[in-house]
């Protein structure tokens, strides 16, 4: 596995074939701070006027929305408009109130980022057989056709799912009642859950150079690997920032608050987003998108498909320094690879079943791989088997309590159902003192029925095919979840100590083994090389077994900046009067505007 920069800090802990280099996630080079204003609009401006200003704006410039309330009867659309920023005066000053959205390629969104050719799994536009270049880390592949392919195109690489008989290793499977409770999640073309989004950097005949290199180690000709792509390069270098959006009136046909569709190097920064339908931000066939310094509250339904940031066929995105409140599943993945969720705070994971605890960090479909969870604060992580298997997920320095007030079911800091293999848990702080009484509930066999009362009070539930550490027949349990999992230096409230157990390091696996680390030293981060510029006075790192004097009951976790922001920001009707500039004063701010022009 190719790995450079801060990834080197993980090398003495996680084997190179169980991780990637996460340092390049999100907008490459960072979100630009643009100073030139191409148009300024005032309250009363319509969505049509805002869209016209965006369409007319010169590259590298800003459409500015002055303070006030904008009542919008249709959506804001970046119709393949690249290199433009839509900026408000701050999320506590510029308010967009939607009564309708736009179709945005068919799913509907209040703010839509879409390229000039919205291909999808049902109409991929261009498909080629991938005939060579399968090795992990490869940056050159061979296709049998490059028609309509160009430098800058985004390829979606995929291959057929594995056969329905468990192979005992990486098993990409989404077959109902075999490895999945409800079949696949449609994240990919039919029976092709494994995928990776890459960008074309050069074309020489049928040889195509790509970035990044291949992540998964199981690409192979026997699974009929292919590549498919849009007729257009992705929309890029456009974003929204410094404003508030209320999606309450958009209606049930509008799926998303902000929808990135065939997007690359785009962003959301310092926004407040209220009461979206399915999700607040949807990463759909999109890569290197950054969502940061923002606040997300509520969804239309406190049930299935009620998400904050949802990755669906996505890669190498960065979701960092955000607050998620009153959302069923704040951070959701379905067919995502290479992304980072860093330093987010989730509270009140609201669900229609009041006693049921939903996790803040979720893997919910076949095809998820090589995602990093670092420094997050919330109820916990779940990798279910509702839509299939996942592999090579890493969690580092998170604090997961496994509980919220009133919750008595599924109260589990780390819940790994069957077929979620090769996970790495390093330096986390887990559990609630006095509530969790058992270290783990692990499936002892494929037919072990388990026990919900035991599972609900365990730090880990591992390998059962159903919820709460129980079997869900006819799907068997998977004892390999525990066998392939790595645990090192995690503090839990049952032991009241960090566990540095060689027996919990999978050092004897025939594939993807991990040597027992030579010492108990942990790096500060797996994806940044130094304390971030937006970090507050909170100690760095804030969470881990090597942290002392923290604010939580264990003493091993300080409040990350987003948690502190939530606690100190005033509320109206339970909703934060949020502006990131009031919480993270050292974060980068836009330069003073120039060339102002008022649009009336």
| pLDDT for residue 245 | 98
Interval 243-270 mean pLDDT: 97
Collect all residues with Cβ–Cβ distance below 8 Å to 592 and sequence separation of at least 6.
35
Scanning 456-540, the segments in alpha helix (DSSP H) are 480-484
The dihedrals phi and psi of 54, each to the nearest 5 degrees, come to -65, -45
pLDDT at position 6, please? 46
Q: Facing residues of 309 across strands?
A: 281, 331
What are the distances in angstroms from CA 84 to CA 199, 390, 578, 595? 21, 36, 24, 15
The first and second tokens of residue 162, run together, are 């594995």
- Left, alpha or beta for 196 (phi > 0: left; psi -120 to 50: alpha)? beta
Question: How many of the other CB atoms lie within 10 Å of CB of 526?
Answer: 29
> Per-residue confidence at 34, pLDDT binned at 50, 70, 90?
very high
The burial of 521, by beta-carbon neighbours within 10 Å (0-12 exposed, 13-18 middle, 19 or more buried), is given as exposed
Q: What is the 3-state secondary structure (H, E, C) of 545-562?
A: CCCCCCCCCCCCECCCHH
Instruction: Identify whether 474 is preceded by a cis peptide bond (ω within 30 of 0).
Output: yes
Task: Kindly tell me if the per-residue pLDDT of 591 is higher than 90.
Answer: no
pLDDT at 304: 83
Across 90-116, average pLDDT: 97
Pairing of strands 279-287, 256-261: parallel
Could you tell me what percent of the chain has a pLDDT over 70? Answer: 96
Task: Please choose, from the candidates 264, 259, 235, 244, the residue with its C-alpha nearest in 3D space to the C-alpha of residue 26.
Answer: 264
232 to 37, 150, 170, 289, 319: CA distances (angstroms): 28, 9, 34, 18, 26
HSE-up of residue 369 (Cα within 13 Å, Cβ side): 22
* pLDDT for residue 2: 41
Print burial letters for 389-424: b (CB count within 10 Å at least 16), e (below 16). Answer: bbbbbbbbbbbbbbbbeebebbbbbbbbbbbbbbbb
Q: What is the pLDDT of residue 7?
A: 46
- pLDDT of res. 593: 45
pLDDT at position 302 is 84
Q: Is 507 helix (H, G, I), strand (E, B) or coil?
A: coil
pLDDT band of residue 586 (cuts 50, 70, 90) is low
| Dihedral angle sign, alpha carbons of residues 428, 432, 433, 438 | negative
Distance CA 403, CA 566 (A): 18
H or E element that contains 271: strand 267-276
d(CA 538, CA 518): 29
Q: How many Å is the Cα radius of gyration of the chain?
A: 23
pLDDT computed for residue 393 by the predictor: 98
Helix, strand, coil proportions of the chain in percent (round to 5)? Answer: 10, 35, 55
CA 276 to chain CA centroid, Å, is 17
Give the pLDDT of residue 12: 78
> Residues 477-510: pLDDT tens digits?
999 999 999 999 999 999 999 999 999 999 999 9
pLDDT tens string 343-394: 999 999 999 999 999 999 999 999 999 999 999 999 999 999 999 999 999 9
Q: Answer yes or no: are the C-beta atoms of 46 and 307 closer than 8 Å.
A: no
For residue 8, pLDDT over 60 is answered with: no
State the burial class of residue 250 (Cβ atoms within 10 Å of its Cβ: 0-12, 13-18, 19+).
Answer: buried
Per-residue model confidence as pLDDT tens digits over 270-320: 999 999 999 999 999 999 999 999 999 999 888 888 999 999 999 999 999
344, two tokens = 């987010």
Contact 470, 450 (CB under 8 A): yes
Cα distance between residue 289 and residue 336, in whole Å: 13
What CA–CA distance (Å, rounded) separates 321 from 13?
Answer: 25
Instruction: Give the whole-angstrom CA distance, residue 577 versus residue 565.
Output: 11
Model confidence over 172-216: pLDDT tens digits?
A: 999 999 999 999 999 999 999 999 999 999 999 999 999 999 999
Residue with more model confidence, 591 or 534: 534
Identify the helix (H) or strand (E) that includes residue 582: helix 580-583
Tokens representing 481?
Answer: 């979840």
Could you give the CA distance from residue 189 to residue 376 in angstroms, rounded to a whole number?
Answer: 32
173: tokens are 């499977």
Give how far Cα 574 sits from Cα of 307, 431, 566, Å: 19, 27, 11
Q: Does residue 594 register a pLDDT over 50?
A: no
Give me the mean pLDDT over the 497-525 stretch.
97
47/579 Cα distance (integer angstroms): 23
At 58-92, the pLDDT tens digits run 999 999 999 999 999 999 999 999 999 999 999 99
> What per-residue confidence (pLDDT) applies to 415?
98
What does residue 7 show for φ and ψ, rounded to 5 degrees? Answer: -60, -30
Q: Which helix (H) or strand (E) holds 48?
A: helix 47-56
Q: Residue 600: its pLDDT value, please?
A: 40
**How high is the pLDDT of residue 301?**
86
Average pLDDT over residues 12-18: 94
DSSP 315-338: ES-EEES-EEES-SEEEEEEEEES
84-98 per-position pLDDT tens digit: 999 999 999 999 999
Res 11: pLDDT: 56
* Residue 590 in this model has a pLDDT that exceeds 60: no
For the chain, the average pLDDT equals 95
Banded pLDDT at 595 (limits 50, 70, 90): very low
Taking the model in full, what pTM does it have?
0.96
Cis peptide before 337 (omega within 30 of 0): no
For the segment 556-569, what is each residue's pLDDT rounded down to a tens digit?
Answer: 999 999 999 999 99
Could you tell me the two tokens for 562?
């987003």
How far is Cα 118 from Cα 420, in angstroms, rounded to an integer?
32
Ranges of each domain in the chain:
126-229
Stated length of the chain: 600
Structure-block tokens of residue 126: 């261009």
Q: Is the pLDDT of residue 123 over 50?
A: yes
**Cα separations in angstroms, 213 against 20, 77, 201, 370:** 10, 32, 11, 13
Query: Helices (DSSP H) in 398-542: which residue ranges?
Result: 452-455, 480-484
């Amino acid at each position: 596995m190719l790995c450079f920069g801060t990834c080197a800090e993980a090398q003495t802990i996680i084997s190179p074939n169980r991780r990637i280099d996460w340092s390049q996630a999100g907008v490459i080079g960072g979100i630009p701070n643009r100073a030139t204003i191409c148009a300024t609009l005032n309250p009363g401006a319509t969505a049509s006027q805002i869209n016209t200003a965006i369409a007319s704006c010169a590259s590298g410039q800003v459409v500015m929305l002055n303070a006030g309330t904008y009542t919008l009867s249709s959506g804001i659309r970046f119709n393949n408009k690249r290199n433009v920023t839509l900026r408000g005066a701050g999320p506590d000053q510029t308010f967009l109130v939607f009564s309708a959205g736009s179709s945005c390629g068919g799913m509907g969104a209040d703010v839509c980022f879409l390229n000039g050719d919205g291909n999808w799994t049902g109409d991929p536009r261009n498909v080629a057989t991938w005939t060579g270049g399968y090795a992990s880390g490869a940056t050159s592949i061979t296709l049998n056709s490059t028609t309509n392919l160009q430098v800058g195109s985004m390829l979606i690489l995929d291959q057929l799912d594995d056969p329905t008989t468990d192979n005992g290793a990486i098993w990409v499977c989404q077959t109902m009642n075999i490895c999945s409770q409800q079949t696949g999640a449609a994240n990919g073309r039919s029976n092709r859950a494994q995928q990776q989004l890459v960008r074309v950097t050069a074309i020489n005949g049928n040889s195509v150079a790509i970035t990044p290199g291949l992540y998964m180690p199981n690409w192979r000709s026997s699974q009929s690997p292919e590549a498919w792509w849009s007729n257009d390069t992705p929309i890029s270098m456009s974003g929204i920032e410094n404003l508030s959006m209320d999606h309450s009136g958009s209606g049930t046909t509008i799926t998303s608050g902000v929808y990135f569709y065939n997007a690359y190097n785009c962003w959301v920064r310092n926004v407040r987003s209220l009461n979206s339908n399915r999700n607040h931000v949807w990463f759909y066939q999109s890569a290197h998108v950054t969502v940061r310094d923002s606040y997300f509250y509520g969804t239309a339904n406190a049930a299935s498909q009620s998400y904050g940031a949802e990755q669906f066929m996505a890669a190498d995105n960065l979701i960092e320094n955000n607050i998620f409140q009153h959302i069923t599943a704040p951070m959701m993945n379905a067919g995502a690879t290479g992304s980072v969720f860093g330093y987010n705070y989730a509270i009140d994971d609201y669900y229609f079943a009041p006693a049921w605890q939903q996790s803040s960090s979720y893997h919910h479909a076949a095809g998820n791989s090589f995602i990093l969870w670092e420094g997050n604060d919330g109820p916990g992580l779940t990798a279910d088997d509702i839509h299939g298997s996942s592999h090579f997920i890493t969690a580092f320095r998170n604090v997961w309590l496994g509980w919220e007030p009133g919750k008595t079911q599924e109260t589990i800091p780390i819940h790994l159902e069957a077929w979620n293999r090769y996970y790495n848990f390093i330096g986390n702080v887990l559990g609630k003192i006095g509530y969790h009484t058992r270290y783990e509930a692990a499936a002892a066999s494929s037919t072990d029925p388990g026990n919900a009362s035991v599972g609900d009070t365990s730090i880990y539930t591992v390998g059962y095919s159903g919820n709460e550490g129980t079997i869900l027949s006819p799907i068997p349990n998977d004892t390999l979840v525990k066998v392939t999992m790595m645990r090192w230096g995690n503090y839990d409230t049952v032991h009241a100590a960090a566990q540095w157990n060689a027996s919990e390091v999978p050092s004897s696996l025939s594939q993807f083994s991990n040597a027992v680390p030579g010492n108990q030293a942990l790096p500060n981060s797996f994806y940044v090389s130094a304390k971030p510029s937006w970090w507050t006075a909170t100690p760095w790192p804030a969470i881990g077994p090597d942290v002392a004097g923290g604010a939580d009951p264990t003493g091993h976790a300080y409040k990350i900046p987003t948690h502190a922001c939530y606690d100190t920001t005033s509320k109206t009707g339970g909703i934060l009067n949020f502006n990131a500039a009031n919480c993270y004063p050292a974060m980068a701010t836009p330069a003073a505007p120039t060339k102002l022009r008022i649009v009336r």
